[in-house]
A = this chain, B = another copy of it.
Amino acid sequence: MKPVIILNFKAYREGILRMEEIVESAREINESGIAEVYLAPPLLYALKISENGIPVLAQHTDAISYGSHTGRIPPEMIGSAGLKGSLINHSERRLTLADIEFIISRFRELELISVVCTNNISTSRSASALRPDFVAIEPPELIGSGIPVSKAEPEIVEGSVRAVKDVNPSVRVLCGAGISRYEDLTSALELGAEGVLLASGVIRAKNPGEKLKELAGIEP
């Protein structure tokens, strides 16, 4: 299976300014078949990028149905807008256990991709019991640090992979926090993860488009 790369734009200004070249690199990587890239831009830009033919994940979805809700996005709208799925419970947007379960269940019915973020082995185990498509383990203290979790705390990645597969072998594990280089991706794969979730390492790089391709293993 090809490694999965999810690029979270967060609310970085750089991501908006350099959106075009990032989109272009994502397309190139996906066409090369070397990896499977998903972009997670701010909600305002999600539809636009998705209509460009790039697989897009929302950064957040709300645990509601269509209806009388202001400033919220239900799972059904993620689907009807053509997005592929969503990050769920990112450390910068934590959700209750009941809401995580609601969103994952609806996504399963709607055939949308659920990527639940977790912060340690124990929450990874717990999240995998809800049967999401992906669990992305991101120790909060390493987010944005430039220190890859695969180097700083490889045992958290290995432990999470073990815990998740033990509960539910079909859940895939991503490795997040501090990821920026090709070797961070390969280390993650060696530890048993099936891909990476990253943000600033690419978005805030001098040449984010080039950086993304390097990360995927395309020689400059």
Contact = CB atoms under 8 A, between A and B. Distances in A.
A60 B70 contact: yes
Contact of A101 (B66, B100, B123, B200): B123
Nearest to A45: B47
A66 B12 contact: yes
Number of chain copies forming the complex: 4
Contact of A93 (B71, B123, B126): B71
A126 B143 contact: no
A94 B70 CA distance: 10
Contacts of A200: 68
Interface string A1-27: 000000010111100100000000000
B123 A97 contact: yes
A122 B11 CA distance: 27
A167 B129 contact: yes
Given A60-B70, A64-B11, A126 B144 contact: no
A53 to B, nearest CB: 16
A77 B16 contact: yes
Given A59-B72, A71-B87, A71-B90, 17 more contacts: A11-B66, A13-B66, A13-B76, A42-B77, A44-B58, A59-B70, A60-B71, A60-B72, A68-B199, A70-B87, A71-B92, A72-B93, A98-B123, A105-B122, A122-B130, A126-B127, A167-B167
Interface of A: 8, 10-13, 16, 42-48, 58-60, 64, 66-74, 76-77, 80-81, 83, 87, 89-101, 105, 118-120, 122-123, 125-131, 143-144, 167, 199-200
